[in-house]
Structure 1
Amino acid sequence: MSRSRQFHKQLSKASDAPMVVVKPAQWVTIDKGDGPL
């Protein structure tokens, strides 16, 4: 139960600032030119 609560907290944090979490990852993949897709 406590685990799911922590997961929800992380989700809410990520949704709070999704650009900050997604943008850097995208830039890194673009920089490397080697992405997951």
Structure 2
Amino acid sequence: MKLPSQLIFQDRIALTETEFVQMVIGAVSSMRLRS
């Protein structure tokens, strides 16, 4: 059984990973538009 704090921590990591992926995709697409 997991503690609520661990669940919140894992959710935060998953959200951060999603934001990171979106940031990378946005950077790559903007680079392609410039070139």
**Normalized against structure 2, the TM-score is what?**
0.48
Please state which structure has a larger fraction of its residues in helix: 2
**Normalized against structure 1, the TM-score is what?**
0.46
Rg larger in structure: 2
